[in-house]
Each structure stands twice: as structure tokens, then as C-alpha cells.
Chain A
Amino acid sequence: MDGDHRTAGAPGDDLVVTGVSKRFGGVPALSQVSVTIKAGTVHALIGENGAGKSTLGKIISGVIEPDEGSVVLGGAPLHMRSPREAMAHGIVTIAQELAIVPSLSVAENVYLGAEVATGGFVRRREARRRFRELAQRVGFDLQPDVPAGALSTADKQKVEIMRALSRNASFVVMDEPSAALSSHETAALHHIIRSLTAQGTAVILISHFLSEVLSLSDTITTLRDGHLIRTVEASGATEDSLIEGMLGRSLSAAFPDKTPAPPDAPVVLDVSHLCAPKVEDCSFVLHCGEILGIAGLVGAGRSELARAILRDARSSAGSVRLDGQELAGHSPRRAIRRGLVLIPESRKEMGLLMGRSVRENISLSRLDLVSRAGWVARLRERREVAALMSKTTVKAADMGLPATMLSGGNQQKLLFARSVMCAPTVLIADEPTRGVDVGSKRAIYDLLVQMAQDGMGIIVISSELEEVLGLAHRVLVMRHGRISAELTGPDMTEGAVLAAAFAETSAS
């Protein structure tokens, strides 16, 4: 397929969304939303989790059809029944929930649906050449031939971005493209977005990072509960005004006050000389009531360290002592029973049962709490789950809804609710707020701080530097599988973390 087959719209035409509404079952996800996306601009969509941003993005890119209203390009309403048809109009999308075929190679995934082929035969060498060119242009370091399933979440995100870019679109919908990227990859992405607009492509950017939104976009549309609140010029907006529009109230601060653990707090987790694939000789302690941040580049081994602490790495040496006792065994189950809980980095692949209900997803780890002799007490389960949902601000019309039907941020909160139910002594949260809106982020932060004050030890792994610095009492920086720096108190600065994360390796 190529761009010349457009049936409507010429380069330079604006994309006009008029009065679209979408209901899922009885629940409205979008009501009468109208926006105009000018060619060659960055148009941001912001709003709380479940506000309808992805739904609007999906309507624009033909993934779902609106119940009412239409999408107009160059004066002609588009009738798109599939992403493929949208692509023919020059509209492509990068989905929030990654759509990667794990068994296909990286290059095959990038050209999926638009294979480089002659007469039905895929021209592999040509595809690889184009892939290299594209990778160079966008500055991503990806091998074309490895199976995409083996990639980290961030690399999968890059594959999605490359897929969209390979289609030479005039409108690109990016649904939280930077959620899984580290800071320098995010910088690369921003560069790409700017160069796209310079070439006349419009980018519809959905993001929860308001600084990103403010620095990149020309126009910002705020949605709340499916309604359009306002569309403003980015130059006239501030973070506070955007938050006010999203939440309907202002947020005093992004982070709660820090209350560091007393210096004599007992050690709850003692990791010494831990080695595992991608983890080399890591040692540190965690105290009761302490929030320990782990920063580093994507691929520095942070998630692998988390898995190794859980004793879930295939081969690992060293010791992990929880409450003074060696954590034996090799299963997450053992760790959970001992009070060590992990929120994994990828909610779709490692966290949720996507087809199952909110209720089942939340109670999965601690069904024993809501059952007697193996028999699930449904009423007790409902009550318990409802309490956890409000505690972690999960927004779902019904706890019987399957996880797929929740917005991305709310899916993330399900994992949080599940781990709160485990009442752990140590919680390792790997990217705990990926895709979560500012208001709910604050709710999760408050919850983390509260749990720490109650004596829990918490490890926060995050690619968001602000999050690590804003929450943690102490920060470890990882590089190439090793802990390259430990920062406390006034040393915890963005500069110090970046220096430790990037520093050239002299030895090793």
C-alpha cells in the first residue's frame, strides 16, 4: 500500500472531527466531541484515565467507528471501518496497548500489513535495507532480525513507532508513546515528532506528561469523562491550567511530602552480591518505612534485578534476606507468601488476565483471603475488591468488566490494587504509574507513602526521573547490570542520576 492511493484529502488539509460520540454498552466514552487538527501541527489530547482519549484516537485512526458524528478530511467525511482504510487516507496510529506479533522479527513487525513485496513474495533484503534506513533516520538502535517477542517493553514501543513512521502518513496518532521510554529515548522521540511536523505531518499526541505536552504541542485539547472541556493554544497554557481542566480541581503538588524512615529503622530486605542474567553483583539494603528508588536507562538491568530479588531468575547467585531470613525457593509464589510482592513492568504480558474481570484480576494473588476451604465467598470478594478499587482509584463501570475494557491507566491500577491486597512487607513496583494520569498518580503516590509510613519497605523502579526523585528517600542508579551509584539527601539530583546512568564504563 502506498500513500498515493488516498481517496480523500490532499497534503495540507485539516482533519476535522465533528460531534463524535461513542458508547460502550450503556456507558458513554465520548459525547459530542469536536476538534480540528491542523496539518503539520502537534495536537495533544489530555485527560484523566478513562476520559476517552484513546477512544478518540481510535476513532480518528479507524480502529472503532463512532456512534454519531464524523471525521472529515479535506471537506469529505471519511468512512473508515479498519485501520487499513484509515492508512489509505494517510492516518496511522501507535496504539497504547502494544500490538506486536511476538514470533515475527522486528523488521517483519515494522512492515506488517505493508510488506515490501513483489507479487506476493516478501523481499527480505530490501525490507531489511529500508528498515536500517528508517532506524537510522529515527535514531533507534534495533536489530531487524531478532524476534519481537524477546524485546523489552521500551523496544517494542520503538517497533510500534517505526511501524507508524514507515507508512509516510500525514496524520499520526500516538497514544502515550513515551510511557515506556527512558529519558534519552524520549528525547529521540521528541526529535522525531518535531521533524515529522516539519515535513508537514500532523501528530495527535496523547500523553500524561504535561511538560512533554507543553513543550511539543501547538494545540491542546482537554477531555474529561468523555466531554470536551476546551481546546487551547499551547503557548497560553501552563501545567496548572491543564491539570485544572483535566481534574476539575487543582493539584497542590505532584508529590506528597517525604517522611524518611527513622535512621534506626530495621532492615527488612538485605540483598547481597546478587548475580543473575543482566544483573551483576548487586548489594543493597532496604529499611522498614523506606522508599528506595532505582533509576537507570532502560536495559540497565532494573527489571532483571527486581526479578532476581524475587528469586525468579533462571540462574542466580548471591543472597536475598527478607526480615533476616533467607528467601529460598524459586517461585514468585514463595516470595508473595513471605511478603515480597512485585508489580511487573508490563501489565498486558506479565500482569493481567486481559479477558477476565476486574474482580478476578484483583483478587488473584490473595484468593485465600476471600475463600473458605477453597470455596470463593463471592460476597466477601466483592466487598474486598470494591474497597481496594476505591483505595487505588480504579475507575470501571463494573467490577465484572473484563480488563480489556478498562482504559490503560485503570488497567495499571488493577495491578496496584492486587498488590495492596497482598499486604506485603516489601513492595517492588516496576514502573508503577505507567500510563496513569496526574490525579491518580498522586493518589498512588499517597498510597505508597502511606504504606511506607505503616512500615513497609518499598522499591520504586521508574524511567521517570521526577518520579524517582520525588518519591524516594534514597536512590540507586544502575548501569550495565551493576549499581553504579547510591544517592541520598541533597545528592539526589537529576544531574547526579544522569551522570551515574550514562557515565562511560572505565573498567568492566
Chain B
Amino acid sequence: MTRHTMSNVAPPTDLEAVASGTRASRLMQSWRMAGIFIPFLILFIVLSITSSAFLHTANLINILDQQASTLCIAAAGTLVLVAGGIDLSVGSTYALAGVTAGQIGQHHSIFIAIAVALAIGLLVGLVNGVVVTVFKISPLITTLAMSYVIEGLALKITAGNLILTGNIPGFTTFATATFLSVPSAVWMTAVFVVVLALLLSRTTFGRYVVAAGGNAEAARLAGVRVGGIKITTFVLSGLAAALGGVIDASRLGSILANSGGAGLSFTVLAGIVVGGTSIAGGEGSGWRTAIGVLFIALIGNGFDLLGVDPNWQQIVLGLILLVAVGLDMWTRRARR
């Protein structure tokens, strides 16, 4: 029998050391903390060595440029997921905003075109958020249904035609003007992602988002406006989707009513999940989402550069997703 005194309390240990238990759980913990950063770094280094074309400023900027819209949408989608929701309508919102901007830009100033497009995204997000919180319909169903409605609207507006935006004076410049030889699409994305990531990690709003997704009833009783918080995340998501649509319409010179679509929604979701954000809500990080999206992009880029059969990309991406979600479930269960 061991005698000991009251003062023999555990010394204050560093957070991670305490939070982790066995070796396995420490591993899981570091997956959450460092998460996707390590695989990302490894992949980056491997690609730098194996492909001579990879580590060129032009290639890297090109990757960022191509991922600009996905990064914006995923940054906002992280907030939605952390707040306990999911947004499958971003793909079609992206297209609707893009074609609307293109259509309006033909006759009006590009300012109006872009403003209307963003307003549409905002409105879609508002509708999503209100339906989810006020009518208590599951976000999965709500946003899935909305995605059909929105895509239908976009098809109606364009009559199924390709909308050319490259001929609109000034419109192309919106996303392709360069500053320090980096296109504006990348600059805008960087600002947007940083703002949203800080919003989640450092502000009261971010805390409320986490609380709403972690335990909505407890959050409500603690005085958090859970409904308002959830609606705000959907609005941000809609806005980000519209911004992404406008950026790509400007960057690519043309857009279709069914560009984006479910494919984009799922790519965004994949990026968020690979970044370690939990699909069950209550935790996640904007930084890791950005890395997650870029990780997937690097796989694609690397496969292209190395000339690997593109079908392998799909297979590898699918497996990575499974691993990411599996690890998420595992850490959750281990904590019970």
C-alpha cells in the first residue's frame, strides 16, 4: 500500500502528452493535430523527386489556380460540417452563379454581374439554412433537393447552352489579373480561406459553430443561437459556391449550367474529410481542409505528370477517403 500526500497531484503536463493515452491513441491524436500535413509533405517531397516538372513555380501556381474555387467552397463547407450540417448544393450553386454572372455580364457592368451572382449564392444558402433549422429537415435531404432545383434553374436560364464569358471586357481580368505573377483567383482564395479558417478557430462565432455541431441542445441551453449559427454557415457556403463559380467562369472563359454539379460537391466534401474534419460535426479546421483539398489535387497533378492511368486516381482517392473516415470513427470510438 502506497502512502502519499495531497500535494502529490499530477504535474501540469503538456496538452498533447496528456490527451494521448496509449501509443495507438497518441498516433490517432497526432492524426487529428497534424493530420493531413504529414502525408501532404511526404507526397510533396516524393513528387518533387520523381517528377522534374513538378517543382516549378508555374506548375505550383497552376495547381492553386485550378483549385481556387474548390478551396473557397471547401473552406466554407468546413464550417457547415463542423456545425453539424452538410451542403450538397454547392456544385449547382457554383454553376448557377457562374452562368448568371456570364449572362448579366453580356449586357451590364461586370460589377452588377458579380454582385448578382454572389447574391444568388447567399440566397441559396439562406434557403438551405432556413429549411434545415426552421423546418427541421435533414441537411442532406434539403441540400440534395436544392441542388436539383438550382441546376434546373441554371439549365432554364441558359437553355442548356454554353455561356461564353471570355468575350466580356473586364470579366476575364477578375480572376486572371496577376499581382507578383500570381493570379487574382489565388489571391482571393488565399484571403477567403484564411478569413474563414480564423473565423472557425479564433472567434466566438467559431466556438458557437463547434458547439452547435458538438451538442446542439447543450449549446442552446448555454445560450448559443444554434439556429442562427447554422443558417450563417449555410449562407457562407452558398456565398463561397457563388464566388467559386464566378472565379471559374472568369478564369475559364466559359461555363455550363451543369459544370460543377454533384461531382464538385463531392470533391469538396472529400477535401474536407481528408483534412480530418469530422462528418459527425463538432470539430474540424479550415487549415486542414485547405491541405486536404491540395492533397487530392497533388495526387491528380502527380499522376498526370508521371503519366499514370487516370483511373488509378479515382481508386487511390477512394481509398484515401475510406482511410480518413475510418480514422475519424476510430478516434471517436476510442474516446468513449
Contacts and interface: CB of A to CB of B under 8 A. Distances in A.
Please indicate whether A and B come from the same complex rather than being unrelated chains. Answer: yes
Interface of A: 24-28, 31-32, 225, 227-230, 248, 312, 331-333, 336-337, 342, 344, 349-356, 360, 363-365, 367-368, 371, 374-376, 395, 397-398, 400-402, 404-405, 418
A360 B2 CA distance: 36
A216 B234 CA distance: 56
B210 interface: yes
Interface stretch (B8-16, B86-94, B121-129, B162-170): B8-16
Contacts of A337: 223
B179 to A, nearest CB: 28
Interface residues of B, number: 42
Contacts of A353: 210-211, 214-215, 218-219, 282
B21 A25 contact: yes
Contacts of B203: 371, 374-376
Given A332-B220, A332-B221, A360-B211, 20 more contacts: A25-B20, A26-B10, A228-B2, A230-B1, A331-B220, A336-B223, A349-B215, A349-B218, A351-B221, A356-B210, A360-B207, A360-B210, A363-B207, A364-B211, A364-B223, A371-B204, A376-B204, A398-B12, A398-B18, A400-B19
Interface of B: 1-6, 8-10, 12-13, 15, 17-21, 202-208, 210-211, 214-215, 217-225, 282-283, 332, 335-336
A27 B218 contact: no
Given A355-B282, A404-B335, A331 B225 contact: yes
B222 A418 contact: yes
A401 B282 contact: no
A87 B10 CA distance: 33
A224 B297 CA distance: 54
Contacts of B19: 25, 398, 400-402, 405
B211 A374 contact: no
A375 B200 CA distance: 10
B221 A344 contact: yes
Contacts of A230: 1
Contact of B222 (A24, A27, A332, A354): A332
8 contacts: A332-B220, A349-B217, A355-B332, A364-B207, A367-B208, A376-B203, A402-B19, A404-B336
A365 B223 contact: yes
Given A26-B10, A353-B211, A374 B204 contact: yes
A367 B3 CA distance: 42
Contacts of A349: 215, 217-218
B204 A397 contact: no
Given A336-B223, A353-B210, A400 B8 contact: no
Contacts of B221: 312, 332, 342, 344, 350-351
A421 to B, nearest CB: 11
B4 A225 contact: yes
B223 A27 contact: no
A344 B225 CA distance: 17
A25 B84 CA distance: 30
Contacts of A375: 202-204
A352 B18 CA distance: 20
A405 B21 CA distance: 11
Nearest to B212: A353
Contact of A355 (B1, B2, B219, B283): B283
B55 to A, nearest CB: 37
A318 B5 CA distance: 55
Given A342-B221, A344-B221, A402 B335 contact: yes
Contacts of A405: 19, 335
Contacts of A395: 9
